[in-house]
Amino acid sequence: MLRRMCLLGAAASCLTFGTATAQQPGGPGGRGGRGGGPNGAAPAPEEGVPAVEKVSTTHHTVTIDGKTIPYTANAGTMVIRDGDGKGEATVFYVSYTKDQAEPSTRPVTFFFNGGPGSASIWLSMGLMSPRHPEMGPNGSEPAPPYNLVDNPYSPLEATDLVQIDAMMTGYSRPAPGSKTSDFTGASNDLKMFSSFIREYLDKYNRWQSPKYLFGESYGTFRSAGLASTLESQEGIELNGIMLLGTVLDLGNIQPGASNDLPYECFLPTYTATAWYHKKLPADLQKLSLAQVVQQARTFAFGDYANALAKGNTLTESQKTAAAQQLARLTGVSAQYIANTNLRIDPGVFRTELLRDQRETVGRYDSRMIGLNGNASSQRQDYDPSDVAPSGAFMSAYMRFLKNDLDYKTDLQYYTGGHAGRWDYTGLTGAGNLGSGYPSTSDMLRTAMAKNPYLHVMVGAGYYDMATPFANAEYTFDHLGYDRTYKDRVQFKYYESGHMAYLNQSSAKQLKNDIVSFIEANQHPANQVP
């Protein structure tokens, strides 16, 4: 079994079941200093830093798939200004641009993690950067000190890359006289990222380039909102959006008194997890992962949804039948499931599945197993998929910035935990059932309606118990009812967790999917909307 393969909770960024929150210091599944977000996050310090552009430009080569690619790196800060030109903040970024390529036809991809309140170091070191730490087999933790090597999974061959760090992450800071809260919270965050992208296109003369976004976890929520914000406020239309660990509608993963949908969305991931740990009946265990997941999908959004919809009008015989089928698909006892009123909390599932072995499974990657001090507890002492190589990523990134990219600063690089409470005002009500859950799904639908050339790639890990893949499927199954939306969305599945790039086989698959997606959508004139 995989025991220490996965990494970083907040790094990857995601919202927890039951609360509109992200990973945060000391929060559910989070590790100190990585998270950010509401519900207990420390107040954001007001750290006014003069709004000054500072960019270090260096030149390098990287070998990817046997090809040597010369590139220019720009590491620095972009000034965000108000309408009068006054600097309000600086946003830290790192760009990688292939040399001797025509900027007007060369694609550019802006990428970021989520949190909210997480820096983009994780997506950078895990997938995008031309250099990254050398990890152990299947992405396991390497022994320190760590090697910095060429990254064979960087998609630099197909697109220039721009890492953006959100406010109060990385080296991004408000200017004196500005407040952190002017740039954090869902709406302000979209404005800041939108302003940065406009400024980047201006500074580096990339207005003509095919443009893409790549967001992970809360970064997917941001990407969907950015598509609309860029279009309506900046006149910037995208060729494509790539999502990994997707959640566009918090109503899909946060249950309520009148919202049973999250239980349905988590069920196929429970089944994948039980299949991996060999906890299913023999007839299901012999099926392929895709086959057994399909059985769970059919039940989840069919008979299971009907049973939950009946509430307390469900008869005992109906409840028993549903519990027995759930037991078959989850590896958890029918009696236990009946006692939960057929509503299995993912945190409890992670402690219940392997209780007979005194083990728990991971949230970010449910293949990972861990140990509780009290084997009868329904809460995990820690997330076993959140304990591996964060040290390798941080060490490699700091070395890369200072030694390779020659970027020096007296500021501390914030990986997370400094963004303060996250305000979703203005981004509620249009999503799941019109329930008021935070959502950017309708913003994405609007952007796709206005731009018939905008395509979306959704990357999903079968073992992701933070943003389960069925929640993304449900969102895109209901993203407008015209055929055009379905035709312009493609799903890619990985036998991995929330951060598909951590194990080498999934990273290679993800990189190839990115390259294929960009190549297929960078020339919209060849497409018929």
DSSP letter string, 57-79 = EEEEEEEETTEEEEEEEEEEEEE
- β-sheet bridge partners, residue 369: 361
Q: Are residues 346 and 363 located together in one domain of the fold?
A: yes
Mark the ranges of the chain whose per-residue pLDDT is less than 50.
1-14, 16-43, 430-434
395, part of any domain: no
Please tell me whether residues 277 and 221 are part of one structural domain: no
Q: Does the residue 76 lie in any domain?
A: yes
Does residue 292 lie in a domain region? yes
The answer to whether position 175 is within a domain reads yes
Has residue 299 been placed in a domain?
yes
Shared domain for 368 and 428, answered yes or no, is no
Per-residue pLDDT, 38: 36
- Mark whether 65 and 163 lie in a shared domain: yes
Q: Do both 144 and 242 map to the same domain?
A: yes
Indicate whether 121 belongs to any domain: yes
pTM of the model: 0.91
Each residue of 401-452: pLDDT tens digit?
A: 999 999 999 999 999 999 999 999 888 654 444 457 999 999 999 999 999 9
| Sequence-separated contacts (24+) of 278-282 with Cβ below 8 Å | 279/330, 279/331, 279/353, 279/354, 280/328, 280/329, 280/331, 281/328
Residue type, 103: P
Find all residues with CB under 8 Å of 200, minimum gap 6, and list them: 78, 93, 95, 110, 162, 206
Q: Are residues 507 and 447 in the same domain?
A: yes
Is the Cβ–Cβ distance between 227 and 217 less than 8 Å?
no
| Boundary-marking domain end, from 386, 418, 442 | 386
CATH number at residue 422: 3.40.50.1820
Whole-number pLDDT of residue 397: 94
Q: Which of 463, 505, 6, 470 is nearest to 274 (CA)?
A: 463
Residues 151 and 198 grouped into a single domain: yes
Counting the structural domains of the chain, the total is 2
Residue 89 lies in a domain: yes
User: CB neighbours of 272 closer than 8 A, spacing ≥ 6?
Assistant: 289, 292, 293, 296, 366, 462, 463
Distance (Å, rounded) from C-alpha 332 to C-alpha 342?
Answer: 11
CB 456 within 8 A of CB 489: yes
Question: Where is the domain boundary, 386, 420, 447?
Answer: 386
Q: Are residues 168 and 283 in the same domain?
A: no
- Which range marks the domain in which residue 348 is found? 255-386
Same-domain status, 54 and 180: yes
Beta-ladder partners of 501 = none
Same-domain pairing of 132 and 180: yes
Residue 107, domain member (yes or no): yes
* The pairing of beta strand 211-216 with beta strand 240-244: parallel
Q: Residues near 315 by Cβ (< 8 Å), separated by ≥ 6?
A: none
**Boundary of a domain, candidates 325, 353, 386:** 386
Query: 């994405």: which residue's tokens?
Result: 444
Distance, in Å, from the CA atom of 176 to the CA atom of 179, rounded to the nearest integer, reads 8
State whether 168 and 266 are in the same domain: no
Of residues 328, 333, 286, the one with CA closest to residue 304: 328
Same domain membership, residue 66 and residue 213: yes
